[in-house]
Chain A
Amino acid sequence: MKSVCRTNLLALAGAAMICQLQPVGAEELTIMATGGAWQAALRQAWFEPFAKKAGVKFNEQEYTGELGKIKAMVETGNVPIDLVTVETSTVLQGCDAGVLIRIDYSKVADRSRFLPGTALDCGVGIDVYGDVLAYDTSVLKEAPTSVLDIFDTKKFPGKRAMRKAPAQNLEWALMADGVPIAEVYKVLGTPDGVDRAFKKLDTIKKDIVWWDAGAQPPQLLASKEVIMTTAWNGRIQSAIDQDKRPFAIVWDNQIVEYDMIAIPKGAKNLDLAYKYLAYVAQPDVGAQLGRFIPYGPVLSDSTPFVPKDVLPKLPTAPDHMKNYLVGDVEFWGDHGEDLVKRFNAWLAQ
């Protein structure tokens, strides 16, 4: 038994984490998520009902979704969290780096019930979101009809915001350059395709404001710093529903992505973490999140449980699934590091 924090050479990196003493007796589950409107929705949809049902105490922490913090915890041998929400590409990265444990699906749910690409070795999908285009209806007289309109500076002059990452932007650039959706990743896998995508981005480079956090797009629109922005659909919907902002979402050419939940190596309450994963993987429970933020369920048998008034706001609504691309996790696992470096070099030029 370790009674003191293990001091390690990486103590500096781990300094942000405080050693926690486990209380005797009471069962506790600690989850770290990426905050904002999304974490509030998770709390209402899943954390609180589960805590009540299982009779456990639920601790929440917030972070920015980066794997560095979890890696520091695992390497210093002091892991105060049991579950963590991450992006799909981060699951692959965490798996590769030996930071996340491999999920034993026999303790969660039948893997075939998940939509393709949402039951990964080291992470379980929890919701479906869309990378979309958003704009302020009180600013733009003429409405954009496709995400690709972000490349049209003639029709829509002014600053536009995009996420400061190559993922999604390169895909959209190729689509805007005339590559059919089905061939986007095939083209992007070649050096010529990458050049072509960056060349397309070049055409609007000086008009772009870059965002890092999901909360920024609605802020950039609200402060009128930009006329349109790429965004995660739920953040914009929250601004429309709760803050009564005159924003609108453009779904055509959206890129569909998944949020994941994972267990860091060395998590102390492993059984309870699995119990939580199994709880959320029930068809009716899986559909609950949509009531609080418009993200869709990842379980194929959850759809009937999604409330009728929520369905039209989801990225998976039939109306929104006409012209779309599913983000390719494997592609970004292979080429992510390389393309991020290329992207940073391109930004710096």
Chain B
Amino acid sequence: MSSIAMPTPKTWISARDHSDSLRPLALAAPLLLLLLFSFGAPIVALLSRAVYEPTIANALPHTIAALRQDSGAGVPDETVFRAFATDLKDGQAAGTVYELAKNLNTRLPGVRSQVLRVTRLAAQDPAATKEAMIKAAPMLGEEKSWSAIRAGTNRFTSFFLLSAFDLRWTGQWTIGTVPADQAVFLRVFGRTFLIATLVTLATLALAFPLAYLMTNLRPAIASIVLVLVLLPFWTSILVRTAAWTVILQKYGILNDLMLWLGVTSDRIELMYSRTGLIIAMTHIQLPFTLLPIYSVMRSVQPSQLRAAQSLGGRPFTVFRRIYLPQVMPGVLAGCLLTFILCLGYYITPVLIGGASDQLISNFIANYVNAELNWEMAAALSFVLLASTLGLYITMTRYLGLDLFKMG
């Protein structure tokens, strides 16, 4: 890929001299615009949910105004409760009080029905006192509820991004970790990176010798091997994952085979385990690692290696000092591609992985689809995107890999 030399006619070069760098940009403009509008804008809009959360601010205009007059921390006085009752009554009329209840429930687990109860009270009895409201919703008598409400009146929030790192505000200016039984995301991010690393190493271990073999086979046989590699590449990821469940399950082909051959004496659990997950992911990712390596290996001239040997280089030295530096860009590109794709794996962990093999995408999907907590999903996506970009930049800058030049 990298070293294919393009014949460059003189006319082409001269035309290029006159035009500026805008020309390639103009040619790519339709694609860039499409990407910007169909991918860029929605991604930014969704990610902005991680920090922009106006539900409480929109639902409680009177309360915010009253809280500004209030002296500060703690449970506020009667006027704030009056304003809160007005907001709840308005919210019920507008049908937005349920959203408020859900939002407060995210910040203060278990208060949803209390909010709805105090709303009914406010709607029925416009003169409900602070005492009556606290009786209907005991959480209103607690200091931490009001500090959560005060925090929520700010349209911009760090709550979700902090949660993505298992952190929370413990005081006005202090950040602490969430309780151990609620801490989940750091572990999941760690697991996602671990599995991506393991799969990348496994694909590399398989792809490197295979690619080397393919470059040295006769062209006819090499193309057959290439088709065999590409065949699964053209098959849907869902089909391949389903096929692996047939192979890996307890009464599946692999277990039958191993029992028959006498390799194992008992059926082993490969489904719903990390071993099974890594086997399936390695198979699915193999072409992504192999193809860049293969394309670079093909461009290495065998005569160079022979020359090196004729100058007295031992096979290992030739490999290390002549061959490896030349194929390294392909190896890094293949590994980076596989690693990044593994970070976003979703289907295979759902179908083959066990409960403790779910990757970060599974949690994002859960927050989008089941929990309807899109703010949390956006925060997790943001962290995933940022770490992927960070990894890409590190690889290109410090390891000298340039994927744009590769193509």
What would 19 A/B residue contacts be, using CB atoms closer than 8 Å? A66-B370, A68-B368, A69-B369, A71-B372, A95-B98, A96-B98, A97-B372, A189-B110, A198-B181, A209-B272, A223-B251, A225-B250, A225-B271, A334-B110, A334-B111, A337-B106, A340-B371, A345-B181, A346-B181
B251 and A224 form a contact (CB under 8 A): yes
Cβ of B247 under 8 Å from chain A? no
Which A residues, 76 to 125, have Cβ-Cβ distances below 8 Å to chain B?
93, 95-99, 102
Instruction: For B102, give its contact among A97, A345, A349 (CB under 8 Å).
Output: A97
At the interface, yes or no: A333 with Cβ under 8 Å from chain B?
Answer: yes
Q: Which residues of A contact B106 (CB under 8 A)?
A: 337
Which stretch in B183-191, B257-265, B304-312 binds the other chain? B183-191
The residue that B110 contacts in the complex, of A71, A98, A210, A338, with Cβ under 8 A, is: A338
Q: Which residues of B contact A (CB under 8 A)?
A: 38-39, 41-43, 45-46, 95-96, 98-99, 101-102, 105-106, 109-113, 181-184, 187-188, 191, 249-251, 269, 271-272, 350, 354-356, 358, 363, 366, 368-374
Question: Are A68 and B369 in contact (CB-based, < 8 A)?
Answer: yes
The residue of chain A having its C-beta at the shortest distance from the C-beta of B98 within the complex is A96
Q: B113 and A10: CB pair below 8 A? A: no
A11–B249 contact, CB under 8 A? no
Determine whether the beta carbon of B358 is less than 8 Å from that of A12. Answer: no
Q: Which residues of A contact B374 (CB under 8 A)?
A: 71
Q: Which of B38, B43, B99, B105 contacts A334 (CB 8 A)?
A: B105
- Chain B minimum-CB-distance residue to A9: B45
A 296-349 contacts with B by CB, 8 A: 330, 333-335, 337-338, 340-342, 344-349
- Chain A residues closer than 8 Å to B102, beta-carbon distance: 93, 96-97
Set of chain B residues within 8 Å of A223, measured between Cβ atoms: 249-251
Which residue on B lies nearest to A341, using beta carbons?
B182
Partner of A345, one of B41, B95, B183: B183
Contact residues in B for A189 (Cβ distance below 8 Å) = 110
The number of A-B residue pairs with CB atoms under 8 Å apart is 114
Chain A residues with CB under 8 Å of B371's CB are: 337, 340
Which has the most chain A C-beta neighbours within 10 Å: B354, B366, B372? B372
Query: Which residues of the other chain, B, contact A210 by a CB distance below 8 angstroms?
Result: 272, 354-355
CA distance A138 to B112 in the complex (A): 47
**Which residues of A are in contact with B by a Cβ distance under 8 Å?**
9-13, 64, 66-69, 71, 93, 95-99, 102, 159, 164, 189, 198, 208-210, 212, 223-225, 330, 333-335, 337-338, 340-342, 344-349
With contacts A337-B105, A344-B363 known, what are 14 further pairs, Cβ within 8 A?
A10-B46, A12-B38, A12-B39, A64-B369, A68-B369, A93-B372, A98-B98, A189-B110, A209-B272, A224-B251, A333-B112, A335-B110, A337-B373, A348-B191
The CA of A95 and the CA of B363, in the complex, are separated in Å by: 23
Tell me whether A13 and B42 are in contact (CB under 8 A).
yes
Task: Give the top 8 A-B pairs by smallest Cβ distance, nearest first.
Answer: A12-B42, A338-B109, A68-B369, A9-B45, A96-B102, A66-B369, A345-B184, A96-B98
Docked complex Cα distance between A141 and B41 (Å): 60
Complex interface: chain B residues within 8 A of A338 (CB)? 109-110
Once the chains bind, are B99 and A98 in contact (CB under 8 Å)? yes
Docked CA distance A341–B164 (Å): 12
Determine how close the nearest CB of chain B comes to the CB of A215; give it in whole angstroms.
13
User: For B39, B95, B98, B183, which residue has the most chain A Cβ atoms within 10 angstroms?
Assistant: B98
Q: What distance in Å separates the Cβ of B181 from its nearest Cβ neighbour in chain A?
A: 6
Tell me how far the C-beta of B182 lies from the nearest C-beta in chain A, rounded to whole angstroms.
Answer: 6
Closest partner residue, chain A, to B43 (CB atom)? A12
Instruction: Report whether B271 and A11 are in contact in the complex, using a CB–CB cutoff of 8 Å.
Output: no
Query: Are A348's CB and B98's CB within 8 A?
Result: no
CA distance in complex: A225, B182 (Å):
31
Q: Are B355 and A11 within 8 A (Cβ)?
A: no
Q: Name the residue among B109, B111, B250, B355 with the largest chain A CB count within 10 angstroms.
A: B355
| A190, B372: Cα distance in complex, Å | 25
Are the CB atoms of A10 and B45 closer together than 8 Å?
A: yes
Among the listed B43, B112, B182, B355, which residue makes an inter-chain contact with A347, where contact means beta carbons less than 8 Å apart?
B355
Rounded to whole Å, the gap between the CB of A88 and the closest CB of chain B is 14
